[in-house]
Structure 1
């Protein structure tokens, strides 16, 4: 059964975070080609994804700073207007419920909403906790010396070694606006690790940080793949 407009719309949060399986991603991208409403939602959410990926779990520490009063209620009301069930509530079964494949996807709607709201708060929290102290040194970025790019595309890349995996810092120009690009890190055994996705921007440089769960010592190369499956940017990872 083909997914409905609403089912595909509910998958947009997972899509911009690079968490959809290939089959659903292809269906959503085909839907985006003809749906102005969903394309607008992707465009609205996509700029927030790099902020999420730049929140370093290793640098977030406990604090007694409380979220604004009634924040949970405001998020719940906003989700209710969109027909979604807030975290902690159980929706009663209804006749003609969505295909089971999409039942698990619905959890992404509140999760992404909370993550996008929380990203700014987490970033502000880290800044607040470090104010009045010496600013910590930035991470060491290891240059990727042999970045290859498709015709008309220019790109540079760097790597940051974390305890939880490798972070890829990418700058690129020449990528068509609105097209979604998947980023993967391949390890020494040829296994692929999802590092997220981003949208091309017309006439401007794309600057993003992508994270994968493979350690730098085990990573062999990275690839950026266009919607048609072609590799448009790639490079070996020195380890």
Structure 2
């Protein structure tokens, strides 16, 4: 692993473990601006954490075995390979404070151990909020690459959920900013088709800080008429009825 790869892995691991200082958060924001796969990888691993939390709800202080460590690291490497194989980019040069190899390796192992122990890790406060760039695609709902603002029904008091949808040739992306949901509670984002078929877009955990999520579902925007956020037990938290969309990929 190169020093750049170690730094990338260490920042992602620190974000998942909520173990970044102010300087490292700035480094992560710069890395995400240069590498669009970083945010996707954090969101993907966050969904894994949510699933593990449901399956392994108790804490175990026993150190994980070397065999378990290897399996976890192999799974992380597989996820990283799957993400980077889909998106090719030329990263911009970064000016950051190098992390020592020992710190990076230790940071990689922290979230892996947490996954194995079923610890709930929230992804709040690590994704940089970005304004829509000049020249970004615009158009009616369903326009490829254009951001479509979503209006949710009123959730519970003290809860704020903002979102946009982005139509792609491979499906529909949901981008959410969430504040006020109970920390540690699991939630699922579902897109509902015109025929009533449901498409899971992703999962996340509530947090004490603002959460920024990017999720994808394998359904075209023109075939979606409703977006729902549900709790782990299936209860509806909030929903948005969506307007008819153009079939821009036809």
TM-score (norm 2): 0.50
Asked if the contact 2:152–2:161 (Cα under 8 Å) also holds between the matched residues in 1, the reply is no
For the structure 1 residues 35 and 19, does the alpha-carbon distance in structure 2 shift closer, same or farther, using more than 3 Å as the test?
A: closer
Asked if the contact 1:142–1:158 (Cα under 8 Å) also holds between the matched residues in 2, the reply is yes
Q: Give ranges in structure 1 of 5+ residues lacking alignment.
A: 1-13, 42-77, 85-107
Following TM superposition, by how much is the alpha carbon of 1:17 offset from its aligned partner in structure 2, in angstroms?
Answer: 3.4
Q: What are the superposed Cα offsets for residues 35-89 of structure 1, whole Å, 9 maximum, x if unpaired?
A: 2669xx9xxxxxxxxxxxxxxxxxxxxxxxxxxxxxxxxxxxx9845363xxxxx
Which of 81, 104, 110 is residue 74 of structure 2 equivalent to?
Answer: 110
Cross-structure match for 2:35? none
C-alpha distance in 1, partners of 2:86/2:223? 30
In the alignment, is residue 220 of structure 1 matched against residue 225 of structure 2? yes
Cross-structure match for 1:31? 56
Asked if the contact 1:173–1:205 (Cα under 8 Å) also holds between the matched residues in 2, the reply is yes
In the alignment, is residue 184 of structure 1 matched against residue 208 of structure 2? no
In the alignment, is residue 17 of structure 1 matched against residue 47 of structure 2? yes
Cross-structure match for 1:175? 181
Q: 1:42-61 to 2 correspondence within 5 Å?
A: none
C-alpha distance in 2, partners of 1:196/1:35? 25
C-alpha distance in 2, partners of 1:127/1:200? 34
Q: 1:1-239 to 2 correspondence within 5 Å?
A: 16-17=46-47, 29=54, 31-32=56-57, 34-35=58-59, 80=67, 82=69, 84=71, 110-116=74-80, 119=83, 126-128=89-91, 137=136, 139-202=145-208, 204-238=209-243, 239=245
Following TM superposition, by how much is the alpha carbon of 1:175 offset from its aligned partner in structure 2, in angstroms?
Answer: 0.8
Following TM superposition, by how much is the alpha carbon of 1:217 offset from its aligned partner in structure 2, in angstroms?
Answer: 0.4
**Superposition RMSD on alpha carbons, in Å?**
4.1
Q: How many residues align?
A: 154
C-alpha distance in 1, partners of 2:231/2:152? 20
Asked if the contact 1:155–1:173 (Cα under 8 Å) also holds between the matched residues in 2, the reply is yes
For the structure 1 residues 35 and 157, does the alpha-carbon distance in structure 2 shift closer, same or farther, using more than 3 Å as the test?
A: same
RCO comparison, higher one (Cα < 8 Å, 6+): 2
Q: Give ranges in structure 2 of 5+ residues lacking alignment.
A: 1-43, 95-133, 138-144, 246-250
